[in-house]
Amino acid sequence: MLKDFKELEKTINYKFKNKKILVQCLKHKSYDSLNNNEKLEFLGDRVLGLIISEKLFDLYPDYNEGKLDKKFSSLVNRKKCLVISKIINLEKFIITADQGKKTIIEDKIISDACEALIGGIYLDTGIESSRKFILKFWNKYLKQDDFNLIDSKTKLQEYSLKIFKKLPEYKLLSNTGPRHKPIFKIAVKLSDTKFVSATGHNKKDAEQNAAKLLLMDIKL
């Protein structure tokens, strides 16, 4: 296991002084309900937000708060953490109850582990090491000075306000599945469309997916 972790350290160009922190970064609650990566994930999310906010403030001095917020939202989210996780092959190092079996690890678990890794680096050696890691892997996305990455829900909302002077209408259709892996089904419509529905493992993702489908329907 430690040999594998050395491979991860080489990939991210960071060597943990306290290996116990590294192990905890990668432990999912299904493996250990008490000593897992949830608190490190909480910490890492805040560290990531701070570093990205600071960098955007420096990179785009002419942006107003609204533009900075949109850019921030495109960089600090579960999907972007998942992209970074794929780049560093983080999935192969995550420790779950099904370790050793050929099971697919959920995207949420992978992206959460990325935030935990950031929290772990911060706890291990502080803010500068965290900043170096974040800027190394988020750098090219920071410098994409466009808003093609605006999320679907925001895009649909802006369109609806512009054309109909009102917000899209969202409706929760169902909430099924076990507590640890719920499935939400949500529908959305505009003033001149029918409801379009989609699912997700939380309400936010389900709304995003439904908005994306509706945008495709109205060819936006």
Direct distance between the N- and C-terminal alpha carbons of the chain, in angstroms, rounded to an integer: 48
Flag whether pLDDT at 148 surpasses 70.
Answer: no
| Contact by Cβ (8 Å): 193, 214 | yes
Flag whether pLDDT at 53 surpasses 60.
Answer: yes
Average pLDDT value for residue range 20-48? 95
Residue of higher predicted confidence among 200 and 53? 53
| Residue 9 annotated to the active site | no
Can you tell me the distance from the alpha carbon of 210 to that of 199, in angstroms, rounded to the nearest whole number?
A: 7
With residues binned 3-state (H G I as helix, E B as strand, rest as coil), the percentages for the chain, rounded to 5, are 60, 10, 30
Question: Which ranges of 60-151 would DSSP assign to H, the alpha helix?
Answer: 65-75, 78-87, 107-125, 127-142
Could you give the 3-state DSSP secondary structure of residue 188? Answer: strand
Can you tell me the distance from the alpha carbon of 220 to that of 5, in angstroms, rounded to the nearest whole number?
A: 44
Per-residue model confidence (pLDDT) at position 150: 62
Query: Rg for the chain (alpha carbons), in Å?
Result: 19
| Contact by Cβ (8 Å): 25, 116 | yes
| pTM, entire model | 0.67
| pLDDT tens digits along 99-126 | 666 667 889 999 999 999 999 999 999 9
Can you tell me the distance from the alpha carbon of 128 to that of 125, in angstroms, rounded to the nearest whole number?
A: 8
User: Which one is catalytic: 41, 54, 106, 115?
Assistant: 115
Per-residue model confidence (pLDDT) at position 157: 92
| Residue 45 annotated to the active site | yes
For the chain, the domains span: 2-142, 152-217
Q: Which of 162, 200, 156 is nearest to 181 (CA)?
A: 200
Could you give the 3-state DSSP secondary structure of residue 113? Answer: helix
Q: Using pLDDT thresholds of 50, 70 and 90, give the confidence band for residue 1.
A: very low
| Contact by Cβ (8 Å): 172, 116 | no
Average pLDDT value for residue range 76-86? 93
Per-residue model confidence (pLDDT) at position 93: 93
Mode of pairing for the β-strands spanning 183-189 and 196-200: antiparallel
User: Which one is catalytic: 45, 112, 151, 205?
Assistant: 45
Does 1.10.1520.10 match the CATH number of domain 2-142? yes
Of the CATH numbers 3.30.300.20, 3.40.605.10, 3.40.190.150, 3.30.160.20, which one belongs to the domain with range 152-217?
3.30.160.20
| Contact by Cβ (8 Å): 133, 121 | yes
